[in-house]
Every structure is written in structure tokens, then in C-alpha cells.
Amino acid sequence: MWQAQHVKTLLERCGHQVSLLGMTTLGDQILDRALSKVGGKGLFVKELEVALAQGRADLAVHSLKDVPMELPEGFSLACVMEREDPRDAFVSNRFDSLADLPQSAVVGSSSLRRMALLRAARPDLRIEPLRGNLDTRLRKLDDGQYDAIVLAAAGLKRLGLESRIRSVFDPASMLPAAGQGALGIEVLSARQDVFQALAPLAHHTTWLAVAAERAVSRAMGGSCSMPLAAFATFQGNILTIDAAWGDPEGRLELVSVRDCAAVNDLASAAALGTQAATELRSRVVAKGGVVHYPSETPGHA
């Protein structure tokens, strides 16, 4: 709702009249099981897409990292907004950083990506499932169920909870998820009027970076059921993408790649991501890992 209110405010500044249609998705309701076991990222967007298709809503605001890599026919990603902090945050009431945690400390996270990266950095830790909204997760920490939890820094900052962050992870050690920290706005593909209304909110360099990241996930057949990370940054017109695949059980060594190229449009950004995914998949297979190939050709969303 914070994200929707933020977009509402920006559109109103552009002269549009906007009202909010609050909804609870299935992903918000299922809190006792990991997303990878109950349907994945699509659980956060399906109800919103139904509202778009029925004409009850003109646009849907998503955390981009929760948006499936392939949208249903007739739906489009119409806008990617400027990215908030893309990093992961270390949250604890007793310890300042991951390095400060004692042997066998309990860390909460249900993200396979975070689990894999945490185990690569600290194989001695106990990683336990953690679901729910931010208040629920923080309450579980405060109740003593965990020594620390790992959350997206962007979500904490947006909700005014930045004070709960003890430290942020350097992306070099805790590579973010594709699209983390960015907001994506989904609309019906035929609604060119809404595309035009959203144009002033789009952030070009963020969109190119996340296009490369999402291309990695798409080419790897990725979803929340795959322990995959991808993060891209610009220096001038050169986009550098880092991607990593890890074993959440810690049985295989973390595999990572880095690629860079001059990028100026969504097609070249996606091509860079696909190239990185090809190299990553080859290295994963060489290490004995399993990669599920996507059923569709990578696109440029």
C-alpha cells in the first residue's frame, strides 16, 4: 500500500485523479510455507491482474522482484521507477553484522537466494524459514525466535523502519535478487492511455539494469524456486552485471559470473543478461548443479 500511495502521489502531481483499490493477494495470505513450495512469485500478482482484466483497476504497482519473468498474454510492464536501495539488510537486536554472529546462530529467511549466499558466507549458521509482512517478521525477531533476520533494505526504508537496520550487505557478498529495490507498474497491453500517463515516472537507467537482471532469471528458468541472484550497475553507458547461483543446502560451491557491455536500450540490456545466464548455467552444470531450462524464449520485459 505504501508503494501504491507513492505512485498515486506522483501521478496526482502530473495532474491525474487517482484512487486506490487495496487488495490482499494469495502470497500475502499463505505465511506458513515457503513461496517456492506453493506457487512462487505469481502468488503476489494474480489477483491484481484479474482486477486489471475486469476493468476494476487501471494499473498495478508491484515490487519488481516479485513479478514473474513472463507476464500473461495481454499484460505489460509499462513502467519501472527509480530504484531504492537494492541491498539486503542485516537486522538483529544483539549483533551488528553477519560476522558478529556466534557459531550456530539462527538466521531467518525463506529466500533460497539469501539462504544460499548466507550458507556460502557462514556454513555454520542455522537458517530457519521466515514469512509474513515486515511487522510480523520483526516481531518474530523481537520475540527471540531468531538471532538475526535478513530483509530488503528498500522495504524497511520505505516504511520508515530504517532504524532497525544494523548493517547493509555489500552486493559483492550478498548479491541482490533481480529487480530488488525497484517498483514495476503492470497494465493491460492495450491501455496506451495508461502507458502515456506513466511515462514521466519511468527511470531509464533503472529499467535497463533490471531488464538485464530479469533476463538472467528468465534465461535460467528462474523464479523464487531457484537460488539465483542478479544485479546490474552502470558506469557511463557500460552496464556490468553480476549473477550467482548457489545451493541453499550448502552442498555445492557458489557459482558466479560477471559480464559487461555498452547498453542503451532494452534489447541490448536483455542480451547482456542472457549472455551472463548462458555462462552461469554452463558453470553450474560443470559443478554438478541442476538448472531447469525455461519453456519460452527470453524476452525484453
CA-nearest of 190, 195, 262, 270 to 230 is: 270
Catalytic site residue 143? no
Residues 74 and 94: their CA atoms lie apart, in Å, by 49
Residues 223 and 236: their CA atoms lie apart, in Å, by 30
**DSSP string covering 165-217, please?**
-SEE--TTTSPPPTTTT-EEEEEETT-HHHHHHHGGG--HHHHHHHHHHHHHH
Cα dist. 231→107, 138, 154, 183 in Å?
Answer: 23, 26, 15, 15
Element of type H or E holding 155? helix 153-158
**CA 97 to centroid of chain Cα atoms:** 22
CB–CB of 234/82 below 8 Å?
no
Q: Which amino acid is at 261?
A: A
CB–CB of 239/212 below 8 Å?
yes
CB–CB of 262/196 below 8 Å?
no
In sequence order, what are the beta bridge partners of 80? 184
Residues 221 and 201: their CA atoms lie apart, in Å, by 30
Q: Which is the catalytic residue, given 28, 32, 58, 66?
A: 66
3-class DSSP assignment, residue 267: helix
The catalytic residue positions are 66
